[in-house]
Amino acid sequence: MELLEQRILKDGRVIGSDILKVDSFLNHQMDVALFNEMGKEFYKLFAHKNITKILTIEASGIGIACIAAQYFNVPVIFAKKTESRNLDSDAYLSEVFSFTKGKTYTIRVSKNYLNSEDTILIIDDFLANGKAALGLAHIVEQSGAKLGGIGIAIEKGFQDGGKLLREKGFDVKSLAIISSMEDGKLSFAE
C-alpha cells in the first residue's frame, strides 16, 4: 500500500537492526485518516471471506481493527494481556512471547464472544516472528470458529513470522512489507 509505505519512509525511525518505531502515526499518536485508508484496503483484501468478527490484541491493534471493522460492519474483540476481575473467568487462553518486551505473557478472550459460527479476521499492527498472530490463531482454533485471514499493517519480511504463518496455510496479507532495514535504510518488498 503506497500511502503507508510513503508514511513509513517519511516518519518511521529504525531502532537498532530490527525495530521500526512509528509512534507518530500508528503506535502512540494515531493518524485516523491513514487508518481509514488501511481499513478500506483490508476490506478489499478480505471482503469475500464473509468475516463476522475482527480479533486483535491490545493495545496497538485496537485502533486499526476498529476503523477496519466499520467497513466490514462487524464487532471487534481484543485479546487482553492482563488478568482482570472484569473478564469472565471462562476464557480462551494462549501464551505469547513478546518481541518488543522480550517476555512471555498470557492473552485471553472471553468465551462469550467467539463461537463456532464465526469467521474471524485477525488484525495486528506489526508482524515480526509471528508469535502474537499465532496466539490469536490458537484462540480462534479453541473456539471452533473459522480463521478467514490475518491482516497486518506492517510486516517485517526479513523476520520469520510471515513465512511461518503462510506455511501453516493462513491467508496472511500485509499492507506494507519491509524487506530490509539495514543501516537504518528501509526497503520494501515488491
Rounded least distance, CB 85 to ligand 5GP, Å: 25
Q: Which of 74, 128, 172, 175 binds ligand 5GP (CB under 6 A)?
A: 128
| 130 is known to lie in a ligand binding site | yes
Q: How many whole angstroms separate alpha carbon 87 and alpha carbon 85?
A: 5
Q: Is 136 in the site for ligand 5GP (CB under 6 A)?
A: no
**H/E element holding 59?**
none
Rounded least distance, CB 175 to ligand 5GP, Å: 14
Is 124 within 8 Å of 153 (Cβ atoms)? yes
Q: How many whole angstroms separate alpha carbon 137 and alpha carbon 122?
A: 8
Residue bearing cell 528501509: 186
- Residues forming beta bridges with residue 176, ordered by sequence position: 154
For residue 15, the tally of other CB atoms under 10 A from its CB is 12
The nearer residue to ligand 5GP, 30 or 111, going by C-beta atoms, is 30
Rounded least distance, CB 124 to ligand 5GP, Å: 5
* 123: Cα within 13 Å, side-chain hemisphere: 31
Total residues in contact with ligand 5GP, by rule CB under 6 A: 19
Interface of this chain with ligand 5GP, residues 11 to 70, rule: CB under 6 A: 19-22, 27, 60
What secondary structure does DSSP assign to 27-77, as a single string? ISS--HHHHHHHHHHHHHHHGGG---EEEEETTHHHHHHHHHHHHHT--EE
Q: Is 155 in the site for ligand 5GP (CB under 6 A)?
A: no
Helices marked H in 47-130: 60-72
| 112 is known to lie in a ligand binding site | no
Rounded least distance, CB 90 to ligand 5GP, Å: 25
- Residues forming beta bridges with residue 105, ordered by sequence position: 96
Please give the grid coordinates belonging to residue 110.
472471553
Interface of this chain with ligand 5GP, residues 68 to 107, rule: CB under 6 A: 99-100
Q: Which of 76, 91, 127, 140 binds ligand 5GP (CB under 6 A)?
A: 127
Q: Which of 64, 65, 131, 175 binds ligand 5GP (CB under 6 A)?
A: 131
Please enumerate, by residue number, every residue annotated as part of a binding site.
Answer: 20, 27, 128-132, 156
Residues near ligand 5GP (CB under 6 A): 19-22, 27, 60, 99-100, 124-132, 156, 161
